[in-house]
Structure 1
Amino acid sequence: MARLDYFAPGVYIEEIDRGSRPIEGVSTAVAGFVGFTEDVRGGAELYKPMLVTTWTQYLNYFARPNSDGFTDFNAYLPFSVYGYFMNGGGRCWVTSIGTQLPGAPRPATPEPATLRINSRGNRPALRFTLRPEQASGGLVNLVIIDGSPRALPEGTEGEAPPNTGEYFTIQIRRGDELLEQYENLTMNREPAAQIATYALAALRNSMYVSVEDITQSGQPLARRPVNGQYELAPPIVAAPPDRFSQNLEGVRDDRTGVRGIFEVDEITMLACPDVMRAYQEQILNLDQVHGIIELMISMCEGSASGDIPNPPNRMVVLDAPPDAVKPQQVVEWLNRFNRRSMFAALYYPWIKVPNPRDRGNPILVPPCGHVMGVWARTDETRGVYKAPANEVPRGVIGLGYETNFREQELLNPLGINCIRSFPNRGIRIWGARTLVEPDKTEWRYISVRRLISYIEKSLELGTQWVVFEPNDQDLWARVTRTVSNFLERIWREGALFGASPAQAFYVKCDEELNPPETRILGRLYIEVGVCPVRPAEFVVFRISQWNGIEDSE
Structure 2
Amino acid sequence: MSKTIKTPGVYIKEVNAFPNSVQEVPTAIPAFIGYTSRTEYEGKSYLNRPVKVCSLMEFLTFFGYADQNATQHKPMYYVSELEKEAENGQSHYIQGKDYAIEPDPATIYYLYNSIQLFYQNGGGEAYIVSVGSYGKPSGKAKALGAPLENPNVKLSELLNGLSALQKEPEVTMYVVPEATLLNKVDNSTLMQTMLKQNMEVRTAVSILDVKGGEAPDPKLYTEDIESFRTAVGTNGLSYGAVYYPFLITTVTAENQVSYHNVNNGDLEFLTNFVSNSGSPNAQALQIINTLKNHPDEEEAQISSMLSSICLPYRQLMKIVVEKINTLPPSGAMAGVYTNVDNNSGVWKAPANVAVMSTSALTLNISESMQADLNVDALTGKSINAIRAFMGRGVLVWGARTLDGNSPDWRYINVRRTITMIEQSIKLAMKAYIFELNDANTWIAIKSMISSFLYNIWKQGALQGAKSDDAFSISVGLGSSITAEDIMNGTLRVIVKLAVVLPAEYIVISLEQQQQSS
TM-score in terms of structure 2 length: 0.71
What is aligned with 2:156? 246
Which residue number corresponds to residue 473 of structure 1?
Answer: 439
1:69 to 67, 72, 91: 72
State the partner residue of 1:258: 162
CA RMSD between the two structures = 2.5
| 1:428-456 deviation per Cα after TM superposition (whole angstroms, max 9, x unaligned) | 00000000151x11100000000000000
Please name the residue that 2:272 is paired with.
none
Task: Name the structure 2 match of 1:92.
Answer: 126
Secondary structure of 2:19 counterpart: coil
Paired amino acid for 1:276: T
1:380-404 superposed Cα distances (whole Å, 9 cap, x missing partner): 0000000000001111111010001
Provide, for residues 82-127 of structure 1, a one-character-per-residue CA deviation record: whole Å limited to 9, x for no partner. Answer: 111111111111122222236868xxxxxxxxxxxxxxxxxxxxxx
Corresponding residue for residue 535 of structure 1: 502
Residues 1:408 and 2:312 aligned together: no
**Displacement of 1:338 after TM fit?**
5.3
Distance 1:523 1:548 in 2: 69
Deviations 1:15-57 (A, max 9, x none): 5447432211000010111111122232452233222210001
> In 1, distance between residues paired with 2:47 and 2:8?
69
Going from structure 1 to structure 2, the CA distance change for 1:38 and 1:15 (only over 3 Å counts) comes to: closer
Identify the match of residue 359 of structure 2 among 397, 411, 422.
397
CA contact (8 A) 1:19 1:478 kept: no
Distance 1:376 1:242 in 2: 31
User: Structure 1 CA distance, aligned partners of 2:136 and 2:474?
Assistant: 55
Mapped contact 1:63–1:70 kept (Cα < 8 A) = no
Q: Give the match for residue 47 of structure 1.
A: 48
Which of 171, 180, 202 aligns to 1:267? It is 171
| 8 Å Cα contact 1:433-1:446 kept in structure 2 | yes
1:516 aligns with 2:406: no
Name which one, 1 or 2, has greater alpha-carbon Rg. 1
Show the counterpart of 2:84: none
Shift of 1:74: 3.5
Residue equivalent to 1:546: 513
Taking structure 1 as reference, are residues 492 and 68 closer, same or farther at Cα in structure 2, changes over 3 Å only? Answer: farther
Q: How many residues align structurally?
A: 394
Residues 170-229 of structure 1, C-alpha deviation per residue, up to 9 Å, x if partnerless? xxxxxxxxxxxxxxxxxxxxxxxxxxxxxxxxxxxxxxxxxxxxxxxxxxxxxxxxxxxx
Q: Higher helix share goes to which structure? A: 2
Determine if the alignment matches structure 1 residue 350 to structure 2 residue 246. yes
Match of 1:26 in 2: 25
Match of 1:58 in 2: 59
Q: Distance in 2 between matches of 1:505 and 1:339?
A: 34
Residue aligning to 2:399: 432
| Residues 1:53 and 1:261: Cα distance change in structure 2 (over 3 Å) | same
The separation in 2 between residues aligned to 1:372 and 1:82, in whole angstroms, is 11
Question: Aligned pair 1:457/2:423, yes or no?
Answer: yes
- Relative distance call for 1:514 and 1:85 in structure 2 (3 A) is same
Amino acid at match of 2:230: R
1:445 has 2:411 as partner: yes
**What is the CA deviation profile of residues 502-548 of structure 1, one whole-angstrom value per residue up to 9, with x for unaligned ones?**
00000111111233322222221111111100000001111111336
The one-letter code of the counterpart of 2:241 is A
Equivalent-residue separation in structure 2 for 1:63 and 1:16 (angstroms): 52
TM-score under structure 1 normalisation? 0.67
- After superposition, residues 220-239 of structure 1 pair within 5 angstroms as none
For the pair 1:79 / 2:100, whether they are aligned, the reply is no
Q: Which runs of 5+ in 1 are unaligned?
A: 106-239, 251-256, 280-284, 304-311
Query: Residue 206 of structure 2 aligns with which residue?
Result: 316
**CA distance, structure 1, for counterparts of residue 50 and residue 4 of structure 2:** 53
CA 1:383/1:75 → structure 2, altered by over 3 Å: closer, same or farther? same
> Are 1:330 and 2:296 an aligned pair?
no
Q: Secondary structure at the match of 2:249?
A: strand
Within-5 A mapping of 1:383-394? 383-394=345-356
- What SS is found at the alignment partner of 2:132? coil
In the TM superposition, 1:95-110 aligns within 5 A as 95-101=129-135
Residues 51 and 93, structure 1, Cα contact 8 Å, conserved in 2: yes
What's the CA shift for 1:3?
Answer: 4.9
Contact 2:188 2:232 in 1 (8 A): no
